[in-house]
Amino acid sequence: MDLLLVEDKDSFRRLLSQALEGTVWKVKAVADPQEALGAMEAQSFHVLVTDLRLPGMNGLELIRRARRLNPRLRVVLMSAFGEPSDIVEAMRLGADDFLPKPFDLDTFLALLDRLRALVGAPPPDPAEAWVAHSPAMQALEAALRQAAASPLSVLFRGERGSGRERCARRLHVLRHPAAPYLSLPAATLGPEGPDPRTLQLLEGGSLFVPGLEHLSQAAVLPLARAMDSGAGRRLAWMGSVDPEGVLPPVLAERLGSLELPVPPLRERREDLLALTRQLLEVAARRESRPAPWLDRGAERQLLEHAWPGNVRELEVLLGRTLLFSEGHAIRTFADLGLGQAAPLCLPWPEAGSLDGMLRVVVRSAEAKLLRQALTEAAGDLPRAAEALALTVRTLAQRLRDHGIPLEDRDSTSASPKGERERTAMERAVEGESRQPWKAP
């Protein structure tokens, strides 16, 4: 992982750099904040460690500009003269922690270990919309709050597309919002089970294993052993299964003690319009346009539809509606068709040779086709892989190649500069070699 250290005192900069030699961190150490900004424009860093008092620009201004360049950047502010107001401002700008100088090197390394976990398995956004007006969702919310007060593993049972993973994120936020969180689809687990280093990375956080009905027989015992391991006992386990899914006894003993049903969208009509407005705002923000409002006729259509595809079907419909809608209101969905696929729209490539432009177009089309296949399969990786005549592992690899995280298929984590940041879950699927995890 890449770390940018900004410290104008040569001796202290060398000391911190030497402390990180032989660790997982690749350090670029500079004294000048302008040089630091230039480095961030040239490559993507995972963590910024900066002093408060710097020549020509203080650390707070550097954090402000750095976060504009990379909103996902993790930040540590150091200072021997930090006022409470400086610390408050640093946290407001997105700093993760403050280290008062002088500090112990072990404290510094322990802090970086925690940030490494948050980089590899970032916690969900606590501000993510959660709509629970219907009796069914209010009952689920009450159950989630009770579950949050216990260390028990939780199994979410519900239809595909009903929001089981959203419920897992909600429970994580209620339990420990700042801790690492990872979604590791059961279909991607092989006979080796979860990577032990991934479990260590998640210590104190949560691991969600969706689609347990797709877990291979060879992965059942390795998953159970992982849950019973020392690292496995130091994190919260969650899983999901279809309404008729049956867990193997060895997993039912570990995941079946607290089972929460997730209601389908057709049973939560009171949530439908509020959920639609939330999803419209998110989709419109992604396209940098104002969210349209719903006309009475469009509201009536939404309320009368059966929603066999649940929330995922609603998301697809609204995304397609925004693609065709030009006004400030959505008056009807009749001309779009609830089950009709959107046309394949591709961006124009930069001007160049025909072969070069074709390669760009083909890559863009492949990403769109992968997303569409996942949508049609209701997020079911094995079903999507079968439809595309691919193995699950190959499909996972293609998704990684296009920067589509397996746990969030509506967005990408592609970095605008440098190598794309990969999640710990992706590395676990790939099974690549990593340096051993070091306990603080």
Instruction: Give the DSSP letter of residue 125.
Output: P
At 63-88, the pLDDT tens digits run: 999 988 888 899 999 998 877 888 88
Q: What is the pLDDT of residue 226?
A: 96
Q: What is the pLDDT of residue 371?
A: 80
Cα–Cα distance for residue pair 296/302, rounded to 1 Å: 10
Per-residue pLDDT of the chain (440 residues; tens, 9 = 90+): 899 999 999 999 999 999 999 888 999 999 999 999 999 998 889 999 999 999 999 999 999 999 888 888 999 999 988 778 888 888 888 888 999 988 989 999 989 988 888 888 888 888 888 999 999 999 999 999 999 999 999 999 999 989 999 999 999 999 999 899 999 999 889 899 999 988 988 989 999 999 999 999 999 999 999 999 999 999 999 999 999 999 999 999 999 889 999 999 999 999 999 999 999 998 888 777 888 999 998 898 899 888 988 998 898 888 878 877 777 888 887 544 544 455 677 778 888 888 888 888 898 889 888 887 877 776 778 888 888 988 887 888 888 778 776 654 333 233 333 333 344 333 333 433 333 333 33
Cα–Cα distance for residue pair 84/90, rounded to 1 Å: 10
At 90-107, the pLDDT tens digits run: 888 888 899 998 898 999
3-state secondary structure at position 323: helix
How distant, in Å, are the alpha carbons of 127, 289, 326, 410 from that of 292?
A: 22, 9, 9, 20
Q: Is 403 left (phi over 0), alpha (psi -120 to 50) or beta?
A: left
Instruction: Give the DSSP letter of residue 71.
Output: T
Contact between 165 and 208 (Cβ < 8 Å): yes
Predicted structure pTM score: 0.69
> Pick from 99, 13, 6: which is nearest to 58 by CA?
6
Cα–Cα distance for residue pair 204/216, rounded to 1 Å: 27
Task: Find all residues with CB under 8 Å of 304, minimum gap 6, and list them.
Answer: none
| Domains of the chain from N-terminus onward | 2-120 (3.40.50.2300), 135-263 (3.40.50.300), 266-330 (1.10.8.60)
Cα–Cα distance for residue pair 128/410, rounded to 1 Å: 14
Q: How many angstroms from the chain centroid is the CA of residue 245?
A: 26
In 202-268, alpha helices (H):
217-228, 249-255
